[in-house]
Amino acid sequence: MKVLAAMSGGVDSAVAAARAAEAGHEVVGVHMALSRSRDQTRRGSRGCCTVEDASDARRAADRIGIPYYVWDLSEDFHDLVVEDFLSEYAAGRTPNPCVRCNERIKFASLMERATLLGFDAVCTGHYARVRAEGPGGAASLHRSRDAAKDQSYVLAVMGPEATSRSLFPLGDMEDKAAVREEARARGLGVSTKPDSYDICFVADGDTRGFLDRHLGEAPGEVVDTDGTVLGTHQGTHGFTIGQRKGLGLQQPAADGAPRYVLDVQPETRQVVVGAAELLSTRVLEATEVVAFEEVPAGREVSAQIRAHGEALPGIVERSDERLVVRLAAPVRGVAPGQTLVLYDGDRVIASATLDRRA
């Protein structure tokens, strides 16, 4: 099989490419340059697409013995991921840029180019498993063996078609230590390279500062549920539902309890705050549904709303143009824009974007 291996310059993608080549596939490595202005080196575990990363990927490809290319996808990344991130925050929503990157870059732009060039599949260093366990033997997406590194949540949005043309060689690895040991044994110089964390295009880790620079100031009020003004802010984009710190309140609650962000309203420039118990909900409503199989009303599922959050039991109440799930127990901090992924055991059933909480 002809396989295009996405190589970020990190240890995971290097070992994945090596495993694909060892399995007998005709592998070609490609490094996706996603940043418009690449730094020379990384800042520890922050940033992406530096010249250092591209060089590390090239050395890994040379060691594996596969061809290697650098593709400039920076315009696609900016238009489809960074601009989406900014517009979602401007609209008072809380997006997950890793989900959008997987959907629109790694398993859309990259897959499209791979198809045009005659590749049969794309290989990445994600931690997930693909099995032929869907309806009629179709490809299904499953959690990885290492629960701590599982990335099925951010991959679910790619859907069944892209899943059937994806290879995740690390899905059965015991843990990250085993991946690093295998990299060392293979002579890959990235075996001790730090993992990347946070949002890759916010290299300094200051998400609020990034939003301020790009969205500018739009002063407004912080109010309680009765509409009483408690403080001011410089932009609703600096807040997300469930937030407790950095609210800039000028007076404490009457009972002395901490306040949390309950709602973000860009149209009125208001941020609504209140008690912790007002954050809880048992009903999740979502749109933009990507289903791996039919999800009939009444089906029992496990629902996950954060990349490393707990999957909670629930029952599907509606699954047409909207997906509605009633949880067995309340969950806090549900924000529009977050990704909802439904599981049956370790198998992904569907992905959707949370619209509102009831």
Catalytic member of 48, 49, 101, 123: 101
pLDDT digits (tens, 9 = 90+) for 36-94: 665 544 454 455 567 889 999 999 999 999 999 999 999 999 999 999 999 999 999 99
CA distances (Å), origin 33, targets 57, 100, 201, 301: 11, 16, 12, 38
Say which residues have a Cβ less than 8 Å from residue 241's Cβ, sequence separation at least 6: 94, 261, 262, 263, 264, 279, 333, 334, 335, 336
For residues 171-202, one letter each, b for 16 or more C-beta atoms within 10 angstroms of the residue's C-beta and e for the rest, the string is bebeebeebbebbeebebebbebeebeebbbb
For residue 302, the surrounding DSSP H or E stretch is strand 300-304
Dihedral over alpha carbons 168, 174, 177, 179 (to 10 degrees)? -30
Query: What is the reported pLDDT for 49?
Result: 64
| Architecture of domain 2-192 in this structure | 3-Layer(aba) Sandwich (3.40)
Query: What is the reported pLDDT for 195?
Result: 83
Q: Are strands 300-304 and 312-319 parallel, antiparallel or unpaired?
A: antiparallel
Asked if 48 is an active-site residue, the reply is: no
Query: What is the reported pLDDT for 50?
Result: 78
Query: Along the chain (358 residues), what's the average pLDDT of each consecutive run of 10 residues?
Result: 96 98 98 73 55 92 97 92 94 90 87 95 96 76 96 94 95 96 97 82 84 92 93 93 87 84 94 93 95 94 94 94 94 92 97 80
Protein fold of 217-278? SH3 type barrels. (2.30.30)
Query: What is the reported pLDDT for 135?
Result: 62
| Architecture of domain 280-357 in this structure | Beta Barrel (2.40)
157 neighbors 8 (Cβ within 8 angstroms): no
Query: What is the reported pLDDT for 70?
Result: 95
Query: What is the reported pLDDT for 40?
Result: 46
Catalytic member of 49, 98, 123, 200: 200
Query: What is the reported pLDDT for 61?
Result: 98
pLDDT digits (tens, 9 = 90+) for 144-177: 999 999 999 999 999 999 999 999 999 999 999 9
Query: What is the reported pLDDT for 19?
Result: 98
Q: Where are the domains of the chain?
A: 2-192, 217-278, 280-357
Query: What is the reported pLDDT for 194?
Result: 87
Asked if 200 is an active-site residue, the reply is: yes
